[in-house]
Amino acid sequence: MLRSRIATLVLLLAAPTLSLAGDGKKTQGTDQGQIAAFVRSYCFECHGNGNSEGEIDLGNLNADALRGDADLARELIQVLDDREMPPEDEPQPSVDQREKILATLHPILQQAVANSRSQRTASIRRMNRFQYNNAVIDLFKLKCIVFTLPERAMRAHGNYFNPESGKMPETVTVGNRPLGKSQMIEPRLAGVAAFPQDLRAEHGYDTQGDHLSLSPLLMDEFLKLGQSITQSPDFNAKRVGIWKSFFQPPAKAVDTESSVRDRIQSFLTRAFRRPANPDEVDRYSQFVLDSIAREIDFTEAMKSVAAATIASPRFLYLYDHQKSALSDVTSATRGSSNRGTSDGMGQPIDDIELASRLSFFLWGSLPDETLLSLAAEGKLSQPDVLNQQIDRLLKHQKLKRFCDSFPSQWLQLDRIISSVPNKENFADFYFSKYRVSMHMMMEPLLLFETVLIEDLPITQLIDSDFTYRSAKLEYAYGSLKSESAKQAGGGVTVLNFRRVPVTDRRVGGVITNTAVMTMTSGPERTQPITRGAWVAGVIFNDPPDPPPADVPPLAEKPIGGEEKLTLRQRLAAHRERADCRGCHEQIDPLGFALENFDPVGKWRDAYENGAKIDMSGELFRQYPFTDVIEFKDAVLANQDRFCRALAGHLLSFALARELRPADHLVIDQITDAVAADDYKMQTLIRQIILSESFRTRS
């Protein structure tokens, strides 16, 4: 585990032969002495002088390793900045000492990043199922969906989503398929079955390239899928927007060969997201002409071309480097999606690639004609043009796809689908054959959409002064319901949510809503460790390492004389193990800060045994709190840290890969720019797009 290597880095920093110069001019001296003294004072007790806590051996190491391991350098800075090291029961450096050591380490990280740039490789990735559905809809301009997508947690009624207006309606009507029946049946292509849902990567989202391979078996399925789409009885002039311009036979007075070539060239350009080359146009056009010569119907011949196009690796794959496309596709179809080329790394992407990155980030689909035209003319990367296009994409209806994909994965809301609180203890959670979780998961999603559309500060995601509630959801909040709860609309299959002010700061934001509280609890009790890990990973983008395999889980109900103990007391035993202590020091305060919320998110002051709940703690060993409002204040006192975390989530989602140390330097720049504009949400997204990481091959 990366974190377990920190002590190794500590020794490297103390090694007398190591030069600490970020610019190549400094040598051993004051900085080296300060680091060596820091290590001896605060690290050797556990990881030196013959001790090897956590199975860390600090002997006989290569002093040059630090400059060649940017990941390690960045991690050391993080654990010192977050006050995760030294452990809380060991002597602590002063604020001045910690600041000095961090100031020394930052240039080292920059040098390590510079040294690692030449080691990068370009990767390619396949569209995930969500993006494939969107891309096929946009390519054919379908007036329906291709197949049903359960991963779309929220379905809109009445076209409430209008980003161009810059305002969310006071009342929105939505639906929810994963937890309800088929109340959200949408027009779709009959006879088309979706391929399996793509799994989320361990470190991120379902856009991650290392999980989006293309095996020979899946390649065969894409061939069948393309045929089933174009042969669907619903694939006709009524549903297909390009039917007349592509599938309908040309007039008798029009030269068939010229018409076919023109149609194919335009179609392939949109499908492959770049100008179609003559060889491709020749191959596809000749197929159609040969088919017509064999007296095959013109429309059927064009359908065959369309089916082949949407099964082509050039359609399915997103490339970092078009020149390597053919070799990469060959490797990918053999089951190695993460291979690539090392030439040209670190160079700016061209306008064609920029168009695709923009559209797949914000629209989850192909670039439209405007983006492709600007890219073909070499104008898209011009600062004024690019900013205009970012504005256009943020105001377009297709932005709903970003809202349907990113926030639910960022917040891990799919976990609520498997939440099953005990029916005897939490009977109100269930009604008829439905669950309140249908309503719960809508609240944070609508909050995110509002913050984005209205360009509000991202701090509203932590402590909002408004929210969206249905009548059933208000009832689920119990004593924390809003003052205007009686006026809110409700429903079962179609859910009416009304915007209401938040006057009680115990609720509001994405942390303390009932969805998160429920999905991070077990059937019988809350799970502070799970809640703390969720906060660490989602809010601060610093998920803890998995627990050791030999640590037994805490029983749902008290056993062995634990009936009178608080949950904090029952969990204390987990902190006694040396290999558990570090993570528990990180996540326990975050989890117990939410302990006043029961397993379905209702407020409580005591446990069932009468013991008073103690949720006090300290954030980053620097910000003490005694209640959940003070906890939110502590998080808001670290708004730059939250901004960096959210920027990291967005950047990983946009780039479809795990972040590297160089990206974290970029994130620092993004955070500075966003902070200068009052932490506005759209400013954050804009800075992601304008960043070096987004606009270079990596």
Mean pLDDT to the nearest integer, 209-234 = 88
Q: Is the pLDDT of residue 331 over 70?
A: no
- Rounded CA-CA distance 221/192 in Å is 12
Q: Which residue has the higher pLDDT, 665 or 484?
A: 665
Average pLDDT, the chain: 82
| Range 448-458 average pLDDT | 98
Total residues belonging to the chain: 698
316: alpha, beta or left? (left if phi > 0; alpha if psi -120 to 50):
alpha
Residue 319 has pLDDT above 60, yes or no: yes
User: What gap in Å lies between CA 184 and CA 404, rounded to an integer?
Assistant: 15
Spatial distance between the Cα atoms of 406 and 352, rounded to a whole number of angstroms? 24
The pLDDT of residue 117 is: 60
**pLDDT above 70: percentage of residues in the chain:** 75
Q: What is the mean pLDDT of residues 105-112?
A: 71
Please give the helix or strand (H or E) that residue 123 lies within, else none. none
CA 616 – CA 626 distance, rounded (Å): 4
pTM (2 d.p.): 0.85
Lowest mean pLDDT among 79-83, 591-595, 616-620, 644-648: 79-83
- pLDDT, tens digit, 9 for 90 and up, residues 228-243: 999 999 999 999 999 9
CA distance 109 to 77: 9
Cα(71)–Cα(661) distance, integer angstroms: 6
- Bond prior to 552 in cis (omega within 30° of 0): no
Taking the C-alpha atoms of residue 68 and residue 12, their distance in angstroms, rounded to an integer, is: 12
Q: Choose the most confident range, by mean pLDDT, from 93-107, 161-175, 211-225, 487-501.
A: 161-175
pLDDT at 11 over 70: no
Say if residues 477 and 460 touch (Cβ distance below 8 Å). Answer: no
Mean pLDDT of 395-411: 96
Give the DSSP letter string of 64-98: GGGGG-HHHHHHHHHHHHTT-SS-TTS----HHHH
Mean pLDDT of 651-676: 93
Single-letter code of the amino acid located at 88: E
pLDDT score recorded for residue 79: 72
Mean pLDDT is lowest, of 76-80, 210-214, 464-468, for: 76-80
Helix axes 298-309, 256-272, angle to 10 degrees: 20
Handedness of CA 445, 447, 452, 453 (dihedral sign): positive
> What is the CA 77 to chain-centroid distance, rounded?
23
Q: What are phi and psi of 378, to 5 degrees?
A: 75, 20
Q: Which residue has the higher pLDDT, 410 or 182?
A: 410
Tokens representing 650?
């967005």
**Structure-model confidence comparison of residues 501 and 485, the more confident one:** 501
Contact present, 99 and 34 (Cβ < 8 Å): no
Cα 485 to Cα 488: distance, rounded to the nearest angstrom: 5
C-beta neighbour count of 416 within 10 angstroms: 24
Average confidence (pLDDT) over 340-363: 79
Position with higher pLDDT, 174 vs 628:
628
Read off the pLDDT band of 559 (50, 70, 90): low
| Alpha carbon distance 354, 320 (integer Å) | 10
Mean pLDDT on 287-310: 96
- What's the confidence (pLDDT) of residue 346? 66
Average pLDDT over residues 300-304: 97
**Of all residues in the chain, what percent carry a pLDDT higher than 90?**
54
- The dihedral region occupied by 62, where left means phi > 0, alpha psi between -120 and 50, and beta the remainder, is beta
